[in-house]
Amino acid sequence: MTEQKKKDHWSSEAYAASASFVPNLTQKILAWLSPQPTDRVLDIGCGDGKFTAKFIDHVGYVLGVDASPAMIDAANKSYRSEKAEFRVVDCRYLEREEGVISAGWDKIISNAALHWILRDESTRTSTIRAIHSALRPGGRFIFEQGGHGNVGEVLTAFLAVLSHPRYGFSVARLHELSPWYFATEDWMRRTLEEVGFVVEQLEIEYRPTRLTEDDNGKPGSSGLEGWIRLMGAQFLEALKDDADRDATVARICEVLEPVVTREDGSRWLGYVRLRGVARKV
């Protein structure tokens, strides 16, 4: 059976405007990656390549894979070289990519992508198993993703607004529409070990994160609105038209404003990061 093609709502420009902090807050997993000149690295959910670019010059070769054609196009335009290339791959079905699985990678890394990729419960464990299969013996999987409770205020606002009778969505249906799976430490450790990994590092961190500011340098609601539109696109696509989506975004921002705004006017979301290192024996 052919999987239904998903709408690509990503763009490098929108991501840079609303979430430029994502590839920048990566010091710990880059240290855990410990890139070496001979390393062959697979980057799972590479997006537009801005994170990948942080270690391209320090490894032998890197392949970035992502489900978004727009983001892969941006990555190839900016960073493709003899040492780096980028391909469109739906990482939920990584085991189908024979050329990727059989390559015997020294290291596989993933930043801020697994909570999207693992959202599909039916492919959740098989994706982790495919990552294990793609590594050479002794190779390492280094990752950071949203952990349990990540941006809880945002998810609650979506549920509160969209469960209003005017929309006709049940809370159960809204949970189905949610684009994220924020794993617990227990689930991740158990799953990694079940597929054959030895877990070397695993931690969860509550890391409130300041939203990208307006072009004029002042914190503003457009930063929050941009984040809601981009990251919550799967919720919004379930609405009937643009006018309905605009009204919904405005209402969600109205609900969130007093929750996420600090005394100085800056806006912060309650990011929770789950990160770890697992070794293939």
How high is the pLDDT of residue 23? Answer: 53
Q: State what percent of residues in the chain have pLDDT above 70.
A: 88
What residue ranges of the chain have pLDDT lower than 50?
1-4, 10, 15, 19, 215-221
Per the CB < 8 A criterion, the answer to whether 274 and 242 are in contact is: no
Specify whether the CB–CB gap between 178 and 234 falls below 8 A: yes
- Count other C-beta atoms under 10 Å from residue 3's C-beta: 9
Q: What is the Cα Rg of the chain in Å?
A: 19
Query: What does DSSP say about strands 105-111 and 135-146: parallel, antiparallel, or unpaired?
Result: parallel
Per-residue confidence (pLDDT) for residue 240, from 0 to 100:
85
What is the predicted pLDDT for the residue at 228? 94
Whole-angstrom Cα distance, residue 206 to residue 217? 26
Inter-residue contact 106 to 76 (CB < 8 Å): no
Where do the domains of the chain lie, and which CATH numbers do they carry? 12-280 (3.40.50.150)
Q: What is the pLDDT of residue 9?
A: 60
Burial class (CB within 10 angstroms; exposed 0-12, middle 13-18, buried 19+) of 102:
exposed
Tokens of 173: 């249906």
DSSP 170-211: -HHHHHHH-----B-HHHHHHHHHHTTEEEEEEEEEE--EEP
Measure the N-to-C terminal CA separation of the chain; round to a whole number of Å.
35
- Give the pLDDT score at 223: 86
* CA dist., res. 156 & res. 140, Å (int): 35
Position 128 scores a pLDDT of: 98
